[in-house]
Amino acid sequence: MNGRSVGPRCSGGGSRPRCRPVVDRRHRETAPDVEALGNPVNTAWIEQRIPKGRKKNCIARRFSRFQPEDFRQGESRAVARGSAVIETNSPNSIADKDRRAAILATTHQLLLAKRSAVNKRILTVLARCLVGLTASAALTGCIGGMLERREARIRSETAYAMWQERCKKSGEFIYRTVDEVEGVYLLKVRPEELNFGNQFELSDPYGKDMGGDGYIKSFLRNSYRRGKEAPESKESFPRLGYHYVEAEEQNNGKLYRYTGRIDEPWKTNSAALEGYTRFALTATPASNRTARYGLTYEDISTREEREYWIAGSLLRIIDLQTNEVIAERIGYMVDLGQGNRAGGRSPWLFAADHACPDFHRTPNPKYRVPGSSAQSWQTLDFVEKALRPAK
């Protein structure tokens, strides 16, 4: 007998009873040990993962049918066919590769053998063992992802706490107001290229407004036309603008006086839509500065703050005759995503939603927009509170 099948045992009625081979249990203990056949599988390791009962006996008997060369040949074929599985990284990569190779070899032999209910059960057990090994690598990746998310959450909470601490010294501070102001002088003009995601560039992302000529236009009369859907409130100013702006040209350093005009292209260009208008600049060279009040900005972020994606800003209005600071605004904002760029995300644009003071002109939430959209015209809004434009 030697552990061979002595005949089928059938159960169930009907014309097609279910049968399974029966093993002479008197000779079960004579079945060769798996390791004795040269199989690199750790028997104890396998048995810990195989449910107790008949399945353990079945798999031991199936292992006993193969000779060492069968395992070696099957292993080489399994390695070739299942390299994607075997090469999976795991904490014990060498040992796990050997185990997976042996399991795949046995699986391959069983697939070539005659189909039977026992074979199917053995393949199920082997699949569970293989999944257990492969899952160890997946579990390692899962744990790594959990640790990364935990670290990101801690960084975000730390950044938020730092930002709230700096908000205690932020705000708008108006020391003196001046009426009937005709024009202003811009000590610094914001560059054309705005900073949307450079973490350590000290370009004052909090004070981001329009850049280049757009920044100059924003201070001129009639450059902004208030929409009917945004009623005025006591907290906001009408954005009237000034009659002129003086600034040095960024390329050559020459002083210019800028005024605004309304162009009507449709009158000279038949391709333009009738009634279409646009605001344009007129630049006139100036020999001397005539505006008494100047405006400048500065990025006051520290290296530590930028490490946590916090941007600080200082905006000042200065009496150029006395060097007196008439008004100043100190603001901070933070990106709680900590520089995350998933989906094309721009960190400094999202940071505008967590700013102190915020960029909204009205406290009515009905007219609120995303913080980054409300940043435009923010400089004029603050300046008009201290330097009230002439009618």
Report pLDDT digits (tens) over 57-94: 444 444 444 444 444 444 444 434 443 333 333 334 44
Higher pLDDT, 266 or 113: 266
pLDDT at residue 293 in the model: 97
b/e per residue 48-66 (b: at least 16 CB within 10 A):
eebeeeeeebbbbbbbbeb
Higher pLDDT, 183 or 369: 183
Q: Give Cα 161 to chain centroid, integer Å.
A: 20
**For the chain, what is the mean pLDDT?**
75
The arithmetic mean of pLDDT across residues 193-210, rounded, is 93
The arithmetic mean of pLDDT across residues 318-323, rounded, is 96
Given a contact cutoff of 8 angstroms between Cβ atoms, the answer to whether 187 and 296 are in contact is yes
Distance CA 314, CA 333 (A): 12
Residue extents of the structural domains in the chain: 24-140, 169-389
Q: What are the pLDDT digits (tens) for 205-215? A: 999 999 889 99
Amino acid at 20: R
pLDDT at residue 274 in the model: 84
DSSP string for 328-381: EEEEEEE-TTTT--GGG--HHHHHTTSEES---S-S-GGG---HHHHTTTHHHH
The arithmetic mean of pLDDT across residues 123-147, rounded, is 60
pLDDT at residue 66 in the model: 41
Residue 142 binned pLDDT confidence (cut-offs 50, 70, 90) = low
Distance CA 159, CA 307 (A): 9
pLDDT at residue 129 in the model: 60
Higher pLDDT, 129 or 159: 159
The arithmetic mean of pLDDT across residues 241-253, rounded, is 90
Distance CA 172, CA 204 (A): 17
pLDDT at residue 143 in the model: 60
Distance CA 201, CA 9 (A): 80
pLDDT at residue 40 in the model: 43
Given a contact cutoff of 8 angstroms between Cβ atoms, the answer to whether 173 and 316 are in contact is no
Q: What are the pLDDT digits (tens) for 249-287? A: 878 889 999 999 888 888 888 888 888 888 889 999 999
pTM of the predicted model over 0.85: no
Amino acid at 270: S
pLDDT at residue 238 in the model: 73
DSSP string for 155-191: HHHHHHHHHHHHHTT-EEEE---EEEE-EEEESS---
pLDDT at residue 316 in the model: 97
CB atoms within 10 A of CB 173: 13
304's CB contacts (< 8 A; 6+ apart) are none
